[in-house]
Chains A and B, each alone.
Chain A
Amino acid sequence: GNSVTQMEGPVTLSEEAFLTINCTYTATGYPSLFWYVQYPGEGLQLLLKATKADDKGSNKGFEATYRKETTSFHLEKGSVQVSDSAVYFCALKRLDSSYKLIFGSGTRLLVRP
């Protein structure tokens, strides 16, 4: 079946540190991949996406590359800020008419000044 596995958190970093949050997936075919972010007290927001192998999604300094050979979609940022503290969810979209999103369990990021 389709599933998404994320590294467990919390991930605690100092401001300006490099961030990597690992995400791997299991799916039939080639799904689209997403990163969503959930700031405290708010709903999930789409951060970035990639729809085919080798695509790189990017937004707000975050990047993730769709790696078919390793079935991965790791999230990276070169220099994190305190305002990046949030929960990050990796997700895939099923390749059928429902466009159903399947989410990982989320990784909490804490950035300290």
Chain B
Amino acid sequence: EAGVAQSPRYKIIEKRQSVAFWCNPISGHATLYWYQQILGQGPKLLIQFQNNGVVDDSQLPKDRFSAERLKGVDSTLKIQPAKLEDSAVYLCASSSTSRRYEQYFGPGTRLTVT
């Protein structure tokens, strides 16, 4: 089966610009996660969707980050305006309802804010 797809793979922007990342989960996976992985650290959950609804967004900086998952499939994560400290790899993962402990990760988008 196809894995989790993400695009773009790399993005360089200047601070105060906006950027959007796209994720297509594994077909049939109801749960979708966005993680932020800063260099030298482990991934940190930003937001979790169950179908269309948000389950956990407690660590999402809502003044600048937003995410949506229309129709319960693809998802986009947006940053507006970007700050230098947003430089990181943004990982998307998905899991099925029956095996939510097993998350499948995409290759990530590496964002550099200059």
Q: Does A100 contact B (CB under 8 A)?
A: yes
User: Complex Cα distance A37/B99, Å?
Assistant: 19
A residues lining the B interface (CB < 8 Å): 4, 32, 34, 36, 41-46, 49, 51, 89, 91, 93, 97-101, 103-106
Q: Please, which residues of chain B bring their CB within 8 A of the CB of A104?
A: 42
Chain A residue at smallest Cβ distance from B107 = A43
Instruction: Report yes or no: A32 in contact with B44, Cβ–Cβ below 8 A.
Output: no
Given contacts A32-B101, A98-B55, contact A103 B107 (CB under 8 A): no
B residues lining the A interface (CB < 8 Å): 3-4, 31, 40-45, 48, 55-56, 91, 93, 95, 100-108
User: Complex Cα distance A99/B43, Å?
Assistant: 15
Instruction: Report yes or no: B56 in contact with A101, Cβ–Cβ below 8 A.
Output: no
CB distance from B14 to the nearest CB of A (A): 26
Q: Please, which residues of chain A bring their CB within 8 A of the CB of B107?
A: 41-43
Instruction: Report yes or no: B45 in contact with A101, Cβ–Cβ below 8 A.
Output: yes
CB distance from B97 to the nearest CB of A (A): 10
Q: Please, which residues of chain B bring their CB within 8 A of the CB of A34?
A: 101
Chain B residue at smallest Cβ distance from A89 = B42
Given contacts A44-B105, A99-B100, contact A105 B56 (CB under 8 A): no
Chain B residue at smallest Cβ distance from A108 = B40
Instruction: Report yes or no: A101 in contact with B103, Cβ–Cβ below 8 A.
Output: yes
